[in-house]
Structure 1
Amino acid sequence: MLTNKQVGFIGGGAMAEALIRGILEARLVTPSQLTVSDVSKERLDYLRSTFMVSTTHDSQEIAKQSDILFLTVKPQVISSVIESIAPVVAKSTVVVSVAAGITIAAFQGKMPGVPIIRVMPNTPVAVGAGMSAMALGKYVTTTVSEPVAQIFGAVGKVVTVTEDTMDAVTGLSGSGPAYAFVLIDALTDAGVRVGFSRQTAVLLAAQTLMGAAKMVLETGEHPAKLRDMVTSPGGTAITGVHVLEQNGVRAALIDAVVAATNRSREMGRR
């Protein structure tokens, strides 16, 4: 599906690196199909030597030659990037933005007729286990969106959502790794408290959460059913779950997602 397509990245940071690594490992493209621009010479040297991709400081050059153009820059500089590339982006080019809080309309106003896809990935794309949500602009067809979904699928899971839910995506999966890291850290401290070394405790905690998540995804069972499989009558697991419920862990997680979603909405109104 990506045969003979030129893929460009404006911004060569961690997100761009994760996507480049993923699509090359999945053999969706060859290095000759990839070009990256960045303001940092050191960063471009690293990407060129690591992945054998082409690099340039000229974002307009990439915008002109790309069939799929990823804007992997910080939200605070996206406006200047749009102003720079808008005059040279062809209507056949698919523009993919991962800049949080920047709406499709903001792009469409400067690039009328250009297919725009807005994506909210999360940090585990760096290890091929990300969760990405795509919102499609009005000029995006299935033919246009499928190659982009394939690219994000190379670094994890991907879903298509409506743009009005992107703040909720930010609150749940975008911010979700932070919640998981808090849980792993707390479980690690608990492991140390009951006698393990910190190294052993973090392994026990992290692998347990990863395994539980994998069971949910691969079995398709409701998490509550899987929990019931672990909690035998009068046993250790139900005793622990009881303590979690007493201390409001479930409510705290719900509140965290709601608060992060509301914060995302506030940031988007600036």
Structure 2
Amino acid sequence: MSLETFGPVLLVGAGKMGGAMLEGWLERGLPPANLTVLDPVPSAELSALAAGKGFHLNPVSSTTPPQIAVIAVKPQVMDDVLAGVAARIPGACAVVSVAAGKTIANLARHFPSGQPIIRTIPNTPAAIGRGITVCVANGDVDAGQRAAATSLLEACGEVAWIDDEALMDAVTAVSGSGPAYVFLLAECLAEAGVKAGLSADLAMQLARVTVSGAGELLHRSDLDPATLRKNVTSPGGTTEAALRVLMGEAGLGELMSDAVAAATKRGKELAG
């Protein structure tokens, strides 16, 4: 679905995630006249962007009721924010939340029965257009609204849909928290390099570029991760020696399973 033909869109919250989506929408041709942004403390950059592009920022008078509303505020203020803006969202408008831990039931409390609601879990690479957002909808969301939400969220990367909301805790544990695991890998690799005799600067440079480069190779390749790993591993060589440690008992595979399980469990606890 082309953003150039989009009807009215409401964005509530234009911080890091909301701001990344906003810029992506404008770059993809969303008509600024069809966009309203609500942000209680707009940054100078946001105000300048609104003035330059012509979208509505904190309008005093009412604008055209939105067809889709994206709520991009922190989970801890979500209830207060929705209490203030829910009246501006029509019953037929699809509400898209990007707040971690806020279930569809949590969100539905602020709206009349039958409100189309989509819960999403994005991740931080969305800030550079390389994230992935996983979505789950309630039964009031129709095919057109799914397509519209997909088009908006694709401004920040790939989009996937699931049918079972209970899986969102596992999604959060893998992709939502996953960037931190990769950053930790770079940290540990650099520290290991220092222990092996490299200077701290060189070790960090090697780790940073190796991790980001390997990620880009994985992104561009049609090969699965296991095949890419095998392609780097010469029999009897240095990589094989290292992988015997990483893939041994209590190695990286078992640690990652335990880490994802811990994050999933914590997600369920936070959701109540």
TM-score, shorter chain, exceeding 0.5: yes
Q: Measure, in 2, the Cα distance between the counterparts of 1:70 and 1:4.
A: 14
- 1:84-99 alignment runs, 5 A limit: 84-99=84-99
Question: Is contact 2:72-2:97 (8 Å) kept?
Answer: yes
- Number of corresponding residues: 264
Q: CA deviation at 1:146?
A: 1.3
Q: CA deviation at 1:251?
A: 1.3
The aligned counterpart of 1:48 is 47
Letter in 2 for 1:49: A
Letter in 1 for 2:265: N
The aligned counterpart of 1:255 is 258
Mean CA deviation greater in 178-187 or 241-250: 241-250
SS at match of 1:113: coil
SS at match of 1:154: helix
Question: Is contact 2:73-2:98 (8 Å) kept?
Answer: yes
Change in Cα spacing, 1:30 to 1:57, as seen in structure 2 (3 Å) is: closer
Q: CA deviation at 1:12?
A: 2.0
Q: CA deviation at 1:32?
A: 3.1
The aligned counterpart of 1:105 is 105
The aligned counterpart of 1:143 is 144
Q: CA deviation at 1:193?
A: 3.9
Question: Is contact 2:6-2:31 (8 Å) kept?
Answer: no
Question: Is contact 1:86-1:111 (8 Å) kept?
Answer: no
Change in Cα spacing, 1:202 to 1:155, as seen in structure 2 (3 Å) is: farther
Per-residue displacement from partner, 1:63-110 (whole Å, max 9, x unpaired)? x63222111111122122333333342133121101111111233343
Q: Measure, in 2, the Cα distance between the counterparts of 1:35 and 1:205.
A: 42
The aligned counterpart of 1:118 is 119
Mean CA deviation greater in 86-95 or 208-217: 208-217
1:68 aligns with 2:65: no
Q: CA deviation at 1:168?
A: 0.6
Gaps of 5+ in 1: none
Q: CA deviation at 1:205?
A: 2.1
Q: Measure, in 1, the Cα distance between the counterparts of 2:6 and 2:59.
A: 23
Q: CA deviation at 1:199?
A: 4.3
- 1:95-244 alignment runs, 5 A limit: 95-109=95-109, 110-162=111-163, 163-244=165-246
Mean CA deviation greater in 202-211 or 129-138: 202-211
Letter in 1 for 2:106: A
TM-score by structure 1 length?
0.88
Per-residue displacement from partner, 1:189-224 (whole Å, max 9, x unpaired)? 233444555444334323322333344344343322
Q: Measure, in 1, the Cα distance between the counterparts of 2:141 and 2:25.
A: 21
Change in Cα spacing, 1:203 to 1:150, as seen in structure 2 (3 Å) is: farther
Q: Measure, in 1, the Cα distance between the counterparts of 2:264 and 2:37.
A: 32
Change in Cα spacing, 1:50 to 1:202, as seen in structure 2 (3 Å) is: farther
Percent of matched pairs sharing the same residue: 38
Question: Is contact 2:65-2:88 (8 Å) kept?
Answer: no
Question: Is contact 1:134-1:158 (8 Å) kept?
Answer: yes
Question: Is contact 1:119-1:133 (8 Å) kept?
Answer: yes
Q: Measure, in 2, the Cα distance between the counterparts of 1:210 and 1:6.
A: 38
SS at match of 1:233: coil
Mean CA deviation greater in 241-250 or 139-148: 241-250
Gaps of 5+ in 2: none
Question: Is contact 2:65-2:90 (8 Å) kept?
Answer: no
SS at match of 2:102: coil
Letter in 2 for 1:266: E
Question: Is contact 2:69-2:89 (8 Å) kept?
Answer: no
Q: CA deviation at 1:57?
A: 7.2
Q: Measure, in 2, the Cα distance between the counterparts of 1:28 and 1:200.
A: 42
TM-score by structure 2 length?
0.87
Question: Is contact 1:89-1:111 (8 Å) kept?
Answer: no
1:79 aligns with 2:82: no
